Amino acid sequence: MDLPMYSDGEIGSEALNSSQSSMSSSGGSCDDRHSSFSRLSFDGVAAAAALELPSGDRPLAASRLPAKPHRWSDPSWAAIRSRNSAGLHANLGPRDFKIVRRIGSGDIGTVYLCRLREEASACVYAMKVVDKLALAKKNKLERAATEKRILRVLDHPFLPTLYADFDASPHYSCVVMEYCSGGDLHTLRHRQPRLRFSVAATRFYAAEVLLALEYLHMLGIVYRDLKPENILIRSDGHIMLSDFDLSLESTASPTLEQFDAADEAAFGDDFSCIPFLARRPVRTSAPCRRFVAEPISARSGSFVGTHEYVAPEVASGRHHGSAVDWWAFGVLLYELLYSRTPFAGSNNESTLRNIVKQPLTFPPSSSSCSSSAARDLITCLLLKDPAARLGSRGGSAEVKAHPFFKGLNFALMRSHRPPVIPGLVRSASAKERRKPDRFDYF
């Protein structure tokens, strides 16, 4: 089956899925670099790939993928299991899927909307197709392998579900993932009054992102690419993080850490990173415990990320660890509340310079569109010293305890009604969608 090309102007709401459309890649669209994808046919036999992915990254049959308890009752999984139990093929592969249309392209691949062949189910999936020959020429095969390894182990309500993984002739690698029909958080923000979210909506999206980061860090994974374009919106309005090719794989040792509440003001209502706002904590006799799962040993010297979201240690060329995710989390909160990032300059160089040297400031009218707790949380997350940054030592436990999230039951986030539930709304024009430069200098 030949797949027609789709221009940016023809892409519907599905193309706003940035893991699925990855509109943030450096160098812009991948249409020219991956033009052969437009003629991709899955009617042929899935022959052995001309290039091998790095060791340990061989395709897995759907039946051999780890169980996904959080999504096991999903109709999309039921359709996959039905396909396997029918004995049509021992392993799911190219012949089992019918490509509907191309929905986007990114730095390491192109994404197609697809469905199972000869199935009565209306379930659709997102298939990310990677040209291994093209990536080998750009020395980016390991990035694709990293993303696939991470997708295989994820099992979380706010992270992607991997349904199938296989090679396609002559030199393509394919992963079939969950499809999000609601676009991404960046586009959704542009549809809000004054291009910003309310404090309540920001708290909702921040809480779900925080839970996803907590899970990734528990697995020893430093995300390194947090931004609104990579936060997809499911059909029910909840979020899903995407794009893991820039992630850093490390290890973490989850522990129950004992601390004195008098020394951890984060667990009190008067917690503040701003000295004159902080009151003297009241000492309690009973020690407290908190769950800490932070990959504190993770270290990398790679210069990766999106300019407006990179931490000072990355912008200055120093080694970095998991604290970069908490910096990016602070930038995300700032953008959702104030419709811009805090250190954006006239070009990429000035943006990086501002990140390293410029002090954090808030818009003059910030008090009218945000709470003091929100501003304080952002201040704590955007400390330029990674060792002092909120979350760098106690991980998500420190961030959850901030008064900005007071009264929020993190365990029941899936039961909360999202601020926006996607409807049949025409996608924003291509001009409205920002394409920030994404870099990966190794």
What is the rounded average pLDDT of the residues 16-31? 38
CB-based burial of residue 36 (10 Å sphere; 0-12 exposed, 13-18 middle, 19+ buried)? middle
pLDDT tens digits, 317-326: 999 999 999 9
Give 160's contacts (C-beta < 8 A, 6+ positions apart): 19, 151, 154, 177, 178, 240, 241, 242
| Phi, psi values for residue 154, rounded to 5° | -75, 140
Cα 251 from chain centroid? Answer: 19
pLDDT greater than 70 at residue 37: no
Going from N- to C-terminal start, the domains of the chain cover 8-177, 185-422
Max mean pLDDT range (83-92, 162-171, 395-404):
395-404
Confidence of residue 64 (pLDDT cuts 50, 70, 90): low
- Of the listed ranges 172-186, 187-201, 363-377, the least confidently predicted one is 363-377
CA angle 16, 21, 25 (to 5 degrees): 115
What is residue 371's predicted lDDT score, i.e. its pLDDT? 86
- Of the listed ranges 187-196, 246-255, 328-337, 350-359, the least confidently predicted one is 246-255
What is residue 413's predicted lDDT score, i.e. its pLDDT? 96
Quote the CATH superfamily of domain 8-177. Answer: Phosphorylase Kinase; domain 1 (3.30.200.20)
What is residue 286's predicted lDDT score, i.e. its pLDDT? 58
Name the active-site residue from 225, 243, 376, 440. Answer: 225
Q: Return the structure tokens found at 165.
A: 């993984």
Q: Return the structure tokens found at 288.
A: 């407290």
Q: Which has the higher per-residue pLDDT, 353 or 287?
A: 353
Query: If you ran DSSP here, which 8-state letter would residue 9 be given?
Result: G
- Pair 80, 58: CB distance under 8 Å: no
What is residue 331's predicted lDDT score, i.e. its pLDDT? 98
Confidence of residue 276 (pLDDT cuts 50, 70, 90): very low
What is residue 74's predicted lDDT score, i.e. its pLDDT? 81
Q: How far apart are CA 208 and CA 418, in angstroms?
A: 10
- Of the listed ranges 7-21, 83-97, 304-318, the least confidently predicted one is 7-21
State the CB neighbour count (10 A cutoff) for residue 428: 16
pLDDT greater than 90 at residue 332: yes
Alpha-carbon separation of residue 35 from 28, 329, 423 (angstroms): 14, 35, 32
Closest CA to 302 of 437, 143, 151: 143
What is residue 261's predicted lDDT score, i.e. its pLDDT? 58
Do 8-177 and 185-422 fold alike per CATH? no
Q: Which has the higher per-residue pLDDT, 332 or 424?
A: 332
Q: How far apart are CA 355 and CA 312, in angstroms?
A: 6
CA angle 213, 139, 248 (to 5 degrees): 20
Q: How far apart are CA 229 and CA 124, in angstroms?
A: 21
Instruction: Tell the CATH topology of 185-422.
Output: Transferase(Phosphotransferase); domain 1 (1.10.510)
What is residue 365's predicted lDDT score, i.e. its pLDDT? 76
One-letter amino acid of 158: F
Q: Which residue has the tokens 């400390």?
A: 383
Prediction pTM value: 0.79
pLDDT tens digits, 140-160: 999 999 999 999 999 999 999
What is residue 6's predicted lDDT score, i.e. its pLDDT? 32
CB-based burial of residue 321 (10 Å sphere; 0-12 exposed, 13-18 middle, 19+ buried)? buried
pLDDT tens digits, 346-380: 999 999 999 999 999 999 876 666 789 999 999 99
pLDDT greater than 80 at residue 7: no
Q: Which helix (H) or strand (E) holds 81?
A: helix 75-85
What is residue 259's predicted lDDT score, i.e. its pLDDT? 67
pLDDT greater than 50 at residue 336: yes
- Count how many Cα atoms sit within 13 Å of the Cα of residue 151 in the half-sphere of its side chain: 30
Please report which residue ranges of 347-402 form alpha helices under DSSP H.
348-357, 366-369, 372-381, 396-400
Q: Which helix (H) or strand (E) holds 258?
A: strand 255-259
pLDDT tens digits, 214-233: 999 999 999 999 999 999 99
| Phi, psi values for residue 152, rounded to 5° | -65, -25
pLDDT greater than 80 at residue 393: yes
What is residue 124's predicted lDDT score, i.e. its pLDDT? 93
**270 in catalytic set:** no
What rounded mean pLDDT belongs to the chain? 79
3 state SS of 215:
helix
Confidence of residue 24 (pLDDT cuts 50, 70, 90): very low
pLDDT greater than 90 at residue 343: yes
